[in-house]
Every structure is written in structure tokens, then in C-alpha cells.
Amino acid sequence: MNLLITTLATFVQIYGALLLVRVLLTWFPNISWYNQPFSALSQITDPYLNLFRSIIPPLGGMDFSPMLAILLLQFVGSNLGKLA
């Protein structure tokens, strides 16, 4: 059971890093999300981010949903770390 929790906590940390990279890359408007590796990153992170985009619509052209998504992921990851 400890191995499962540790593996899940590691996955959450890696996924959080991917989300952070995805958010930071949105600051560069010349990136084409249709080319690799950006397309793969988008396919991995967008389903999770779309859950929060449906809750918090963009306000004034700014998308605040990644902040909530990352905070929730950090909360889950920290609680998994306490279980291990």
C-alpha cells in the first residue's frame, strides 16, 4: 500500500511540474501548440485544466483556472505525502 501511495504522490508532483511548464509557456505568444513537444504537453494537461475552466471562466482575457488547478493538485500531493 505504501508503494502505491508513494507512486501516486510522485505522479502528482510530476503532473504539477507539467502544469507549471504549460502555464509558463502561455506567456510566449509565438509558440505553436500544434507542433511537438507543445502538442503533447497540451494533450496531457488540457483535460485537467478544462475541468477548472468550466468552473472559472476567463475574466478580462486572463485565465485564472490554472491557479486553482495547481493549488488543488498541491493540496492532494501534500496529503498523499502525509499518508506515505
Q: Quote the pTM value.
A: 0.85
Q: What is the count of structural domains for the chain?
A: 1
Long-range interactions of 49-58: CB distance < 8 A, separation 24+:
49/19, 49/22
Measured CA to CA, the distance from residue 35 to residue 60 in angstroms comes to 28
Contact between residue 19 and residue 73 where contact means Cβ atoms under 8 Å apart: yes
Mean pLDDT in residue range 63-78: 91
Task: Categorize the per-residue pLDDT at 84 as very low, low, confident or very high, splitting at 50, 70 and 90.
Answer: low
* Per-residue pLDDT tens over the stretch 21-47: 999 998 888 988 888 899 999 999 999
Question: In terms of residue numbers, what domain contains 16?
Answer: 2-83
**Mean pLDDT for the chain?**
90
Contact between residue 6 and residue 84 where contact means Cβ atoms under 8 Å apart: yes
Mean pLDDT in residue range 78-82: 84
Q: Look at residue 64 and tell me whether its pLDDT is greater than 70.
A: yes
